[in-house]
Structure 1
Amino acid sequence: MSEKLDSLIIIDRKADLITPMLTQLTYEGLVDELIGIKNSHVELPVSLLTPPSAPNQATPGASSSTVPPPAATLTKEKKKKYHLTSATDSLLAELRDLNFAAVGKKLNQVARRIDEDYKLRHQAKTVAQLRDFVGKLGGLQTEHLSLRLHTGLSEMLVPQTRTEIFNKSLEIQQNLLASYDTNGQISAIEELIAEGADLQVVLRLLCLASIITGGIKAKTLENIKREILQTYGYNYLPLLLSLASPPLSALLPSPLPASAPSSVAASKYPYTSVRKALRLLIEDPDPLEELENDISYVYSGYAPISVRLVQCVAQKGGVLSNPAGEKDKKIAGSNAAGKKNKGAAVPKVHAHPIVGWKGFEDVVASIPGEVVDIIQNAPGTHDNVASSISNSMLPKEQTTTTVVFFLGGCTYTEIAALRWVARQNKGRKFLIATTGMITGGSLVAIAMVNIAPNTQNGNTANKAPKKRRASSGGRKKLTPFNKFMQTETARLKEEQPDLDNKSRFKLVIDNWNKQKEKE
């Protein structure tokens, strides 16, 4: 490789289908999940993009114009495209990679700083001091508008993150990642179907459960498919078939039928062994949102497999170390320095040379897909590993670039995790390339293309979450079966509270079938 580019790491999406199926928890990732980012543009209410009129120009910092309209008002407004880029929005650069739980605190800090900067005008006594303040005024006004925009955008996200279905979905995801009571999580997904949750939410959870557990019990999966078709419509049968077929093969029964293609059998994921070998879960994620001492902060305790694989090549210590064990030391160091974020007490180390998958050969070989490790030697050098390592050890004052290419798309949260990796070392930058930006919803939407000729239905399902949240869960559009499910489930919960979810659900199905026989 050249002196500027030391390596190219290609991650096939098939190597990690788990991460995109999870709900992104960084600021930019959550914007993509709940509002949608297309070609770096997001549709926002016009009032957030229009400079407010300040009734009292003498006190711009204290003006009520800093407060955006209420979230309920914003959702009803006419929308306009906004280019979401850190090139013109410095506040976005500070917010985009934060766990959403830390965004409110950051916005509060920025608001106080801007207010203090505005108050400096009262201390200007001389012409030179006034000229200096006027020179800063344009930047302050730009920051002021950016703060207003992101405060309003955050307020649009908050109500959606507080819905019962959203939080149930997160709970199911965390339990599946920890391999906790997987049968109970399947029952919880069935409850979401009965509640009329958005189809994409249900399918993402089912695919996640299937990949993590190596497949859902055949009889259970068939029952769930029947429930989905009866609840959402039989036009989604091709979608279910598509999710179970290559290239996704994300919704599989266990055991696989004898007729299953060999490529499907080879795609089964060894999640349990990978979780331990790559240290995917942090047992105590509470301080992560503040300290950000591991990439797992982006998913509140789960480290994306794709980025862990990049660390296997470019930051091996990040895979092996346990940040949770050093949290007390880091908190103490951060407090002594007067700040508590981004692990400020931990000094940067110089990036180690690239030596391929060395040290992680076994776990990488267990992941579905071909493992490639090619060394490109400069002309005139010997074809051996020692020579390659020597060539890659550049002087410390030089900085090399490692290209990470996601084949099949990546999420904004994975990019946030890679930016975190880049911040930890000196001497190495990362250039991130991808075939496209994705979410679990967009992966399901790709499979929906196979629904013909009713492609419009697929598009409608893709946009359903926003409509349902705005109309009391979308219950007015429920099918007769779904209405029966809701009323019968509520009745049984009241009359037979000791029934477990699975037994209650089976009883509801039996009662439905009996009712249909009478008709």
Structure 2
Amino acid sequence: MAQIPNLDNAPLNLSSLREQSQRELLNILKSVRGRKCVVIDPKLSGSLSLLIQTSLLKESDAELRHLSSERLQTECSKVLYIVRSQLNLMKLISSNIQNDISKGLQKEYFIYFVPRRTVVCEKILEEEKIHKMVTIGEYPLYVMPLDEDVVSFELDLAYKDCIVDGDTSSLWHIAKAIHKLEFSFGVIPNIKAKGKSALKVVDILNRMQVEEPVDSSNTGVPEINTIILLDREVDMVTPMCFPLTYEGILDEVLRINNGAVELDASIMGAQQDGKKMKVPLNSSDKLYKEIRDLQFGVVMQILREKAMSMKQDYAEISTTRTVSELKDFVKKLNSLPEVSRHINLAQHLFAFTSKASFSGRLDIEQTILECQAYDICFEYIEEMIHKQEPIVNVLRVLVLFSITNGGLVKKHFDYLRRELLHSYGFEHMFTLNNLEKAGLFKKQEAKGNWPNINRALKLLVDENDPSNPSDISYIFSGYAPLSIRLVQHAIRSGWHPIEEILKLLPGPHLELKRGGYSNVSSLDTARSIPASLERTMDGHRTLVLVVFIGGVTLGEISALRFLSSQEGMGYDFIVGTTKVVNGDTLLETLMSNAS
């Protein structure tokens, strides 16, 4: 099955965006005539695999390599680097070119920056005395469709950059990506934003519309009615919780990266011990699309029923008489690979979810979210440290505990900090400092706002029937993701009725209309304009783009899909994100070994 997702059923014409990016890439390859060695930044290879088949790249007379610290061995006289604008990558490229020079090799070098060149990177090339030997260009890949309803800006360090390092360069990229969408689909008339970074993105976006206006006479009525921008900082509770959907658990256990998981072939029933294989996971797989947002227990039941049905079909094949009966059987046979693929994956996940430690983890999460039994929660974290559980597991529970309590009392804060450093090594001083800077692990200065937020937004809901849920809380075992509750309020009646609750969450907020497809140059002139999200009256569904600055979890994506599927809900959602994350991957960017 192709790894490139099928976008035919997307609520926006994302295929045209992808085709444009494909053309731009192929034009870059064609611009370097003759045989060439194309050296790709490893962090980009996953993204590019969602964009274009490797065979198409090779057809451009290209030999493909990954950029690494090892010397580049190639007979090609032309070397084309496709890389992000990262300083460490400039050092690797410089080292490769200097190695060629020392051997007396004469080659042509091309560096294409994704999505744009930076002065700092060019300065490094100058310092390394190779800038005159390279031709520099840009590959403006700002938006990457991951699936029918998800686009990524592929900025995996955006949360750390903005919150810990104070580096807001990623916000320009996000605004540029949204502006690029507007050139294709029209100026988005309604904006809602919550969080410091979200407001900065709106400001940059409005300035871009003044400097490089989208001509509304070309685009017609905007296809996207509203954009809701949310800082990840506004809701750091949700990523720390463990999702119970099939897709969410797959990601937590096996890590979905660029729409695929890499795992041992033996898990998929192949007789190849030690061999790795990639399993694509996107809407192109019809069964996956049907089950990914359901609770894992429900998925197990569905797969069991499908397996039983197939067994019965096989038993009946001997009595098949007519051609049409045979055709029906063959049709069912075609879905067999999908069913067996997901049965194998589900069996692997079941080995994880059936452990006592898993249910223990869910229980402690629930207790923390309810702000009950402070001492029991504290002792649970203490025990995790003493058992030497993976540090990222400990930090997830600790961060959840700290946020919901508005921090830890000084005595407990100092004690856990000391225990973590003794157990996991003093190199994690850097990690803990980053967590403090981000406000994720801190000393309690006053009682936290979590109980008030929880009550006002009805975040804890009595268990839904998992096979027929009525609320988004089914995704996290009775907890409704705070971020998605904000989206629900935004589309129902705007944020004005929950103004006081929004003030308890990090960062400012705004709602504005960009009147007529107007050019509002500054937020100051636009802040006071109310914006309500109106559903179209002619039966069309209203399209809402929800942008997460700092990452979105698969649980939140499932929650938006659930909302969209509800009867009487006239909205479709497209998710835009700096990266698809989970609690582990988000915290790992703050850890000392994150690069």
TM-score higher than 0.5? yes
Distance 1:13 1:385 in 2: 25
Residue in 1 that maps onto 2:559: 417
Cα deviation, 1:112-154, whole Å, max 9, x if unaligned, reads 33344555645543xxx32x34444454233211111111111
In 2, are the aligned partners of 1:48 and 1:149 still within 8 Å (CA)?
A: no
- Equivalent position amino acid for 1:434 in 2: T
**Aligned counterpart, 2:424:** 232
Q: Match for residue 254 of structure 1?
A: 444
Select the structure with the greater relative contact order (CA < 8 A; seq sep ≥ 6). Answer: 1
Matched to 1:183, the amino acid is D
Please, which of 245, 248, 255 is the counterpart of residue 26 of structure 1? 245
Relative to structure 2, which stretch is displaced further, 140-149 or 192-201? 140-149
Instruction: Sort the Cα spacing of 1:150 and 1:158 in 2 relative to 1 into closer, same or farther, 3 A.
Output: same
The whole-number CA distance in structure 1 between the counterparts of 2:257 and 2:429 is 28
TM-score between both structures, scaled by the size of structure 2: 0.58
The 5-angstrom pairing of residues 293-304 of structure 1 reads 293-304=470-481
2:338 paired with 1:200: no
1:389-468 equivalences in 2 (<5 Å): 392-424=534-566, 425-448=568-591, 451=592, 455=593
- Post-superposition shift, 1:379? 6.3
The residue correspondences of 1:110-189 to structure 2 (distance < 5 A) are: 110-118=306-314, 121-122=317-318, 124-125=320-321, 129-130=322-323, 132-189=324-381
Of 284, 290, 301, which residue of structure 1 is paired with 2:467? 290
Listed one character per residue, the Cα deviations across residues 82-132 of structure 1 (whole Å, up to 9, x for unaligned) are 111121x1111122101122221111122233344555645543xxx32x3
Comparing 13-22 with 145-154, which one deviates more in the overlay? 145-154
Q: 3-state SS of the aligned residue for 2:283?
A: coil
| Amino acid across the alignment from 1:299 | F
Per-residue deviation, residues 300-358 of structure 1 (Å, max 9, x unmatched): 100000110000012x4xxxxxxxxxxxxxxxxxxxxxxxxxxxxxxxxxxxxxx5313
Structure 1 counterpart of 2:280, from 83, 87, 105: 83
**Amino acid of the structure 2 residue aligned with 1:83:** P
Contact 1:281 1:303 (8 Å CA) reproduced: yes
Write out per-residue CA displacement over residues 448-503 of structure 1, whole angstroms, 9 at most, x where no aligned residue: 1xx2xxx3xx79xxxxxxxxxxxxxxxxxxxxxxxxxxxxxxxxxxxxxxxxxxxx
Matched with 1:377 is 515
Distance 1:110 1:136 in 2: 15
Q: Which residue type is aligned with residue 222 of structure 1?
A: D
- 8 Å Cα contact 1:364-1:371 kept in structure 2: yes
2:433 is the alignment partner of 1:241: yes
Contact 2:320 2:326 in 1 (8 A): no
**Alignment correspondent of 1:92:** 288
Q: Do the aligned partners of 2:232 and 2:551 also contact (CA within 8 Å) in 1?
A: yes
> What is the CA deviation profile of residues 394-420 of structure 1, one whole-angstrom value per residue up to 9, with x for unaligned ones?
224222211111111101111001100
Instruction: Report whether the alignment pairs 1:279 with 2:458.
Output: yes
Q: SS in structure 1 opposite 2:572? A: strand
- Mapped to 2, the partners of 1:253 and 1:29 lie a distance apart of 31
Post-superposition offset of 1:37: 0.8
**Corresponding residue for residue 6 of structure 2:** none
Aligned-partner SS, 2:288: helix
Report the AA paired with residue 467 of structure 2. E
User: Separation in 2 of the partners of 1:435 and 1:210?
Assistant: 25
- CA deviation map 1:52-102 (0-9, x unaligned): xxxxxxxxxxxxxxxx58xxx99x642211111121x11111221011222
How far 1:184 moved relative to its partner? 1.5
Other structure's SS at 1:374 match: strand
Q: Distance in 2 between matches of 1:375 and 1:197?
A: 49
Q: Which residue of 2 aligns with 1:360?
A: 498
Cα gap change, 1:47/1:139 in structure 2, threshold over 3 Å: closer, same or farther? farther
Contact 1:269 1:367 in 2 (8 A): no
Distance 1:26 1:295, change over 3 A: same
Q: 1:123 to 1:361 in 2, by over 3 A?
A: farther
Contact 1:405 1:433 in 2 (8 A): yes
State the shift of 1:254 in Å: 1.6
Amino acid at match of 2:589: I
CA distance in 2: counterparts of 1:155 and 1:144, whole angstroms: 16
The alignment partner of 2:483 has SS state of helix
**Aligned equivalents of 1:78, 1:120: Cα separation in 2:** 37
2:349 is paired with a residue whose SS is: helix
Indicate the SS of the match to 2:230: strand
228, 239, 254: which is aligned to 1:35?
A: 254
Distance 1:384-1:20 versus aligned 2 partners, 3 A rule:
closer
On the 8 A contact 1:48/1:148 being kept in 2, the answer is no
CA shift, 1:384, in A, is 13
The structure-2 alpha-carbon separation of the partners of 1:24 and 1:388, relative to structure 1 and needing over 3 Å to count, comes to: closer
Q: Which residue of 1 is the match for residue 213 of structure 2?
A: none
How much does 1:170 deviate?
A: 1.8
2: CA distance, partners of 1:227 / 1:385: 49
- Distance in 2 of aligned mates of 1:367 and 1:81: 40
> Matched residue of 1:373: which SS?
strand
* SS of aligned partner of 2:511: coil
Secondary structure, in 3 states, of the residue corresponding to 2:548?
strand
> What does 1:259-270 correspond to in 2, within 5 Å?
270=449
Equivalents in 1 of 2:359, 2:535: separation in Å?
Answer: 47
The change in CA–CA distance for 1:205 and 1:47 in structure 2 (over 3 A counts) is closer
Q: TM-score, normalised by structure 1?
A: 0.66
Q: What's the CA shift for 1:292? A: 1.0
2:483 to 296, 306, 316: 306
Greater fraction of residues in strand: 2
Distance 1:384 1:396, change over 3 A: farther
CA distance in 2, matches of 1:123, 1:213: 66
